[in-house]
Amino acid sequence: MANRRIYLGNNPWESTEDEIRSLFTDDYKVVDLKIITDKETGRPRGFAFVELATEKQALDAATELDGQEFGGRFIRVREANERPARNGQQRRGRGDDYGWK
């Protein structure tokens, strides 16, 4: 694992930042959290990116949280990829645009 960011997917759309932070026990230090929203409506899209203090914390959190139930849904937790550079084109519907494997 090369970074400290993880992708947190299949979140309930109504989940708040505080609710997502509550997934992480005292063993994890959340440095940054970004809930991805629709550009047109501003509504959450059901996934977020979380940056943790260390690579080990990110790896451990991904292992521990993947498949857990959260708000009636089973979340997906993966290492986040760096967002690819855009060359003037808007791509839609491809998971790799949002940083997950």
pLDDT of 73 strictly over 70: yes
Residue 63 token pair: 């292992």
Q: Where are the domains of the chain?
A: 5-83
Q: Which residues of 58-81 are buried (b: 16+ CB within 10 A; e: fewer)?
A: beebbeebeeeebeeeebbbebbb
Answer whether 38's CB lies under 8 Å from 47's CB: no
What's the average model confidence in pLDDT over 37-58? 94
Instruction: Give the CATH superfamily of 5-83.
Output: RRM (RNA recognition motif) domain (3.30.70.330)
Check whether 2 has a pLDDT greater than 60: no
Question: How much is the average pLDDT of 62-89?
Answer: 86
- Our measurement of the distance from residue 33's CA atom to the centroid of its chain's CA atoms, rounded to an integer in Å, reads 8
Pinpoint the alpha helices (H) of the chain.
17-21, 55-65
Structure tokens at 36: 């991805």
Residue-wise pLDDT tens digits, 18-37: 999 999 988 899 999 999 99
